[in-house]
Amino acid sequence: MKNNVVQALKDVREKSPLVHQITNYVTVNDCANITLAIGASPVMADDINEVEDMVSIASALVINIGTLNSNTVKSMIAAGKKANELGVPVVLDPVGVGATPFRNKVGAELIKEVKFSVIRGNLSEIKSLYGADVKTKGVDSLEESSLNEVGLAKEIAQKWGAVIAITGAKDIITDGERVAVVENGHKIMSKVTGTGCMCTALTGAFAGVCEDAFTAALAGVVSMGIAGEKANERLEKNEGTGRLRQNIIDEIYNLSPEVILERGKVYEK
């Protein structure tokens, strides 16, 4: 599987896919910069008057509901439908689903209206999106994903025909048949806002060049995990999460096939 990730990295650097992102204003700058760092090209348009045109020239669409509002939800659905029509892969980050009825409603609406190639979230978000009864504390995960959740992830993947990526202490990626577990990353990453959003942005970049959405999701998760742990190792005395955020972008910019092969902790399940 790691060889597929390596190939995906080479492809994204060679083809520089345009990744249309309708996302939140908290982490949008980091999402744009990490998309550039991996070798793709971001565009963040969200007005209803242009999202269909923008997605038509894009290689992938990322929908992130971190800071929802009624206008952008309309844009998300319009862009998602157009992407489906054109065969442009769509990646969903259901940030904070479970936290409020509005987020649950929007999540359900997106799942109903748009066919997603990949859905990436933490365990409580994915469970909430699937209708499971789980309490979410804001946009942070209350529970860590565990291998026991593999069954759930497979079930969701089969039902929705989407690759499900549940990220946490261990990450689970499945298309309903294949299952990969990734053990990269470091717990300090949860102390920087947007590491989840950035992981989704990377997945979008890979989805823009990979035929196989499972590989795209795996590449996004492995890249982010490796970047996070290397970024943490580079912290010097007196440095903290401000520096970490910058290091993560640096590590994605410098990510190489060799680093993926050496440090990727990817296991087939």
Residue placing its CB nearer to a copy of itself in the complex, 135 or 159: 135
Q: Which range of residues in 50-58, 82-90, 146-154, 172-180 is near a copy of itself by CB under 8 A?
A: 50-58
* 194 binds a copy of itself, rule: CB under 8 A: yes
Place of tokens 């993560």: 248
Q: Which range of residues in 32-40, 77-85, 155-163, 168-176 is near a copy of itself by CB under 8 A?
A: 32-40
Q: Which residues contact 246 (CB under 8 A, 6 or more apart)?
A: none
> Rounded distance, CA 244 to CA 255, Å?
16
* 224 binds a copy of itself, rule: CB under 8 A: no
Among 158, 253, 259, 263, binds a copy of itself (CB under 8 A): 253
Residue placing its CB nearer to a copy of itself in the complex, 45 or 150: 45
Alpha helices, H only, the chain? 2-15, 28-38, 51-56, 70-86, 101-113, 123-129, 150-160, 195-207, 213-233, 241-253, 257-263
Element (H, E) at 142: none
Between β-strands 179-182 and 171-174, what pairing exists: parallel, antiparallel or unpaired? antiparallel
Query: Which residues in the 97-136 window bind a copy of itself by CB under 8 A?
Result: 99-103
To the question of whether residue 120 is assigned a binding role by annotation, the answer is: yes
- How many CA atoms does the CB half-sphere of 217 hold within 13 Å? 31
Among 45, 134, 181, 259, binds a copy of itself (CB under 8 A): 45
* 42 binds a copy of itself, rule: CB under 8 A: yes
User: What 8-state DSSP symbol labels residue 236?
Assistant: P
To the question of whether residue 44 is assigned a binding role by annotation, the answer is: yes
Contact residues for a copy of itself, defined by CB under 8 A: 18, 20, 24-30, 32-33, 36-37, 41-47, 49-50, 53-54, 57-58, 66-71, 96, 99-103, 137-140, 190-194, 234, 238-243, 245-254
